[in-house]
Amino acid sequence: MSGGAYSLWSLRAVALGCVSLGILAPVAAGMWQTVRAAFGSLPAIGAFGPDAGPWADLLAMPGLLAAVRLTIVTGLGATVLSLMVAIGVCAALHGRRSPRLAARVLVPFLAMPHAALAIGLAFVLAPSGWIGRAMAPWLGWDRPPDLATVNDPWGLALILGLMIKEVPFLLFVLLSALTQIPVRQQMAAGRALGYGRGMVWIKVILPQLWPLIRLPVMIVLAYGMSVVDMALILGPSNPPTLAVMLTRLFSNPDLRLLLPASAGGLLQLGLVIAAFALVWLVQRGLRVLGGCWVRRGRRGGWTEPGLALTVVVLSGLVVLGGLAMSAMLVWSFAWRWPWPALVPDSWSLRAWMAPAGGWGRALGHTVVIALCSAGLSLLLAIAWLEGEDRARRGRARWAEVLVHVPLLVPQVSFLFGMNILLLRLGLSGSLLAVIWAHSLFVFPYVMLALAAPWRALDPRLGRTAAALGAGPWRRLIGIKLPVLLAPVCAAAAIGVAVSVAQYLPTLFIGAGRVPTLTTEAVTLAASSDRRVTGVYASLQAALPFLAYLLAFALPAIVHRNRRDLRGQVPE
C-alpha cells in the first residue's frame, strides 16, 4: 500500500506541476516582460531603461482619460447590471420553473461567441439595421435616422452586448450555486414572517450565495473591463476603451509606441485590481450596513415590480441575442439587402460556396484548436481532481485561485510579453503555441465546470468499489467517469466554447498565421461584405452550439437506461 500511496500522491504533484509550469509561469514571465517594457526597457527597439518615459507618453495620449472612464463605466456597468438581472431572474423564477429547463434555455447564449454576437448585434441595433427597418414604415423614415445606436460615445451598445453574454453565464453560475443552499425552506420561513420574495433573496439568500459566486463575478468584471473583440465592434472608437486603444498601440507601425502600450497594459491591470478592491470595499461596507438593515426588519413588498422588471430585461436580452444570430445567418444567404427591406431582395449561396478560399481553413483550425485545448484541459482537470481525491487532501484553495489567474489578469497586459518569450523559443505562430495559449483560458473554465459535480459525487460509490477490490484506476475509469459522464461532457463543451471565442490569444500568439473563425470574423466585421461576415459568424456560433448539443445528447444516449445518470448538467 505504501507504493500505492506514493503513486497516488504523485498524480496530484503532476497536475500541480503542469498548472504552475504550463500556466502560471508563462503568465508571470509575460507580465515581467510587460513591466520591463513599461519602464522603458525593450532592447530590441533600442530602448534601454529603466525610465519613466513610457508613462509620460501614455499620459500624453489623446483621449486616454476618456478611454479609462469608458473602460470603468462599461466594465463595471455591464457587470453590476448583469448581476442584478441574473439575481432578480433567479429570485423571480426560482421554484416556479425547473432549473434544468432554465439551463437548457440558456445554453445557446452560453455557446454564442462574443465576436459573432457583437457582429450580429451591430446590425440589429444600427439605425439602418433590423430594428430601424421595422420602425421605418411606421415613423415615415425614408432614410435611417442619424442616431449613434452602435459605437455610441457612452458605450451603451457595448454594455448591452456584454449583458447578453454575461447574464446567462451568471444565471448558470447562480443556478448551480443555489443547489448548495436550502432556498425552499428559507423562502418558506421568510414568507411566513411576512417578507416579500425579493426581500428574502436580498436579506437571506444573497449573503450565503455571494461567497459561492464571487470568483465568477470577478471573472466577468475582469473580462468586461478588458474585452477587445466586442469593444472593437460595438464600442466607441474615438477614443475606444483602454484595451482596444492598447491593442491598436501594440500594432502601430511606430515601434516606440510599444513602450507606452506596455505601460498601458499595467494601467489596465491596475484598473482591474482597483475594481476588485472596490468590490471588496462594497462587500465590507454591506456587511456592516446590511446587518443593521436586516435587523430593522422591513418586509419590503416593493421588490416585486423590480423582480418582474428583471424578467422583462432578460427576455429583451434573449430576443436581441436571438435576432443578432438570425441576422448573421440571413445575411450569409443574402445577395442584395438594402435599406429599408426587412428581408433580402435577392438570395445567393455565393458566400457559402467558396470553403477552399476562406472559411474552410479557418474552420479546420478552429475545430482542431478547440478539440485539443478542451481535451488537454479536461485531462488536466480530471488529473487534478482525482489527485485531490487520492491524496485525501481537501481542495487546495490557493491553487484554485491561481488557476484562475489567466482569467483575472487582462489579456492585453501579458500576451505581448508572453509572445516575446515564445519567439525566443521559436514557437510563436505555430498551431501548438495557439493550442497552449487557448488552454490557459480554457482550463480554468473546465475546472470551474467540473469541480463542483466531481466533489459532490457520493463517496460511498468509490468506497463500495474499493471494498469489492477495485484499484484506484479501475475506480476512476469504471465508476467515477461513467457516473460523471454528463458533467464531463458539459465541461468539455464549455472548453470548446471558450476556445472558439478566443480572439487576442489567437491573434498575438498565432502570429496571424493561424487564422480561426474568430480572428477572421473580427477582421471581416470591418469589411464591406456582411454576407461573408455572416458565414464566419454563423459558423463560429454553430461550433460551440454543436458541442453543447453533443454534451446533452451523449449522456442521454449512453445512460438511456440509467435514469439518475441522465443529463444532470451542472446542478
Partner 1 sequence: MTQIALAAVTVLALSAPAGAEDWQATLDAARGQTVYWNAWGGDDRTNAFISWVGQETERRHGVRVAQVKLSDTAEAVTRVVSEKAAGQDSGGAVDMIWINGPNFLAMKEQGLLHGPFVADLPNARYLDLTPGSANTLDFTVPVDGLESPWRLARFVFNHDTARVDVPPATMAAFVDWAAVNPGRFTHPAPSNFMGATFLKQALIELVPDPAALQAPVSDASYAAATAPLWDWYEALRPNLWRGGTVFPENQSVLQQLLNDGEIDMAMSFDPASTAAAIAQGLLPDTVRVFVPEGGSIGNVSFVAIPYNAANRDGALVVANFLLDPATQAHMQNIEVLGSFSVLDPSRLDEAGRAAFAALPTAPALPTLEALGPTLLEPHASWMTRLTDDWARRYTR
How far CA 303 is from CA of 197, 308, 373, in Å, comes to: 8, 9, 44
Establish if 360 lies at the interface with partner 1 (CB under 8 A).
no
Residues in the interface with partner 1 (CB under 8 A) total 62
Work out how close the CB of 342 gets to partner 1 at its nearest, in angstroms, rounded to a whole number.
Answer: 14
Among 420, 470, 549, 556, binds partner 1 (CB under 8 A): 420
Three-state DSSP at 205 gives: helix
Q: Does 146 help bind partner 1 (rule: CB under 8 A)?
A: yes
Per-residue mark of binding to partner 1, 225-244 (x: CB under 8 A):
-----------xxxx-----
Interface region with partner 1, contact rule CB under 8 A, candidates 16-24, 76-84, 169-177, 253-261: 253-261
Binding status of residue 104 toward partner 1 by CB under 8 A: no
Binder among 100, 143, 191, 395 for partner 1 (CB under 8 A): 143
Binding segment for partner 1 (CB under 8 A), chosen from 139-147, 180-188, 316-324, 396-404, is 139-147
Stretch that binds partner 1, among 144-152, 178-186, 266-274, 302-310 (CB under 8 A): 144-152
C-alpha cell at 444: 480554468
The DSSP-derived string for 282-313 is HHHHHHHHHHHHHHHT---TTHHHHHHHHHHH
Would you say 142 or 564 has its CB closer to partner 1?
142
Stretch that binds partner 1, among 87-95, 207-215, 350-358, 367-375 (CB under 8 A): 350-358
Burial track 385-422 (b if 16+ CB lie within 10 A, e otherwise): bbbbbbbeeeebeebeebbbbbbbbbbbbbbbbbbbbb
Nearer to partner 1, 104 or 350 (CB): 350
- φ and ψ at 94, to 5 degrees? -60, 135
| Least distance to partner 1, CB of residue 68, Å | 13
524 belongs to the binding site for partner 1 (CB under 8 A) = yes
As a whole number of angstroms, the distance between CA 396 and CA 410 comes to: 24
Nearer to partner 1, 178 or 517 (CB): 517
Three-point CA angle 38, 43, 45, nearest 5°: 85
423 scored as a contact of partner 1 (CB under 8 A): yes
Task: Please give the biggest Cα pair distance in the chain.
Answer: 83
Nearest to 19 by CA among 371, 272, 379: 379
Residue from 7, 98, 251, 464 binding partner 1 (CB under 8 A): 251
Our measurement of the distance from residue 570's CA atom to the centroid of its chain's CA atoms, rounded to an integer in Å, reads 17
Closest distance of CB 303 from partner 1, Å: 39
Q: In the complex, what is the shortest distance from the CB of residue 423 to partner 1, in angstroms, rounded to a whole number? A: 3
Q: Does 48 bind partner 1 (CB under 8 A)?
A: no
Q: Which stretch binds partner 1 (CB under 8 A): 97-105, 413-421, 486-494, 552-560?
A: 413-421
- Residue 5's contacts (CB-CB under 8 Å, 6 or more residues apart) are none
Give me the sign of the Cα torsion angle 139, 140, 143, 145: negative
**Interface region with partner 1, contact rule CB under 8 A, candidates 9-17, 172-180, 306-314, 517-525:** 517-525
Counting contacts by CB under 8 A, is residue 432 touching partner 1? Answer: no
**111: burial class by Cβ within 10 Å (0-12, 13-18, 19+)?**
buried
> Whole-number minimum distance, CB 479 to partner 1, in Å?
48
Segment contacting partner 1 by CB under 8 A, of 50-58, 204-212, 284-292, 414-422: 414-422
Within 10 A of 103 (CB to CB), how many other CB atoms are there?
21
Distance in Å, CB of 62 to partner 1, minimum: 4
Q: Which residue among 162, 219, 325, 532 contacts partner 1 (CB under 8 A)?
A: 532
Query: DSSP string covering 448-494, please?
Result: HHHHHHHHHS-HHHHHHHHHTT--HHHIIIIIIHHHTHHHHHHHHHH
d(CA 449, CA 102): 17
Does the protein bind partner 1 through residue 347 (CB under 8 A)?
no
CA–CA distance from 169 to each of 211, 217, 225, 311, 412 (Å)?
17, 10, 16, 15, 23
Residue 566: phi and psi, rounded to 5, are: -80, 125
Which residue type, as a one-letter code, is found at position 113? Answer: P
Residue with cell 470577478: 218
Site mask for partner 1 (CB under 8 A), range 485-514, x = bound? ----------------------x---xxx-
**Residue 58 beta carbon to partner 1: minimum distance, rounded to whole angstroms:** 14
Q: In the set 53, 144, 290, 322, which binds partner 1 (CB under 8 A)? A: 144
153 sits near partner 1 (criterion: CB under 8 A):
yes
The x, y and z cell numbers of residue 148, run together, are 449613434
Torsion of CA 111, 117, 119, 121, to 10 degrees: 160
335 is an interface residue for partner 1 by CB under 8 A: yes
For partner 1, which residue of 338, 398, 561, 564 counts as binding (CB under 8 A)? 338
By CB under 8 A, name the one of 140, 305, 394, 426 that touches partner 1: 426
Contact residue for partner 1 among 13, 44, 193, 278 (CB under 8 A): 44
Where does this chain bind partner 1 (CB under 8 A)? 42-45, 62-63, 66, 126-128, 143-144, 146, 148, 151-153, 236-239, 248, 250-255, 258, 335-336, 338-340, 346, 348, 354, 357-358, 416, 419-420, 423-424, 426, 428-429, 507, 511-513, 515, 520, 522-524, 526-530, 532
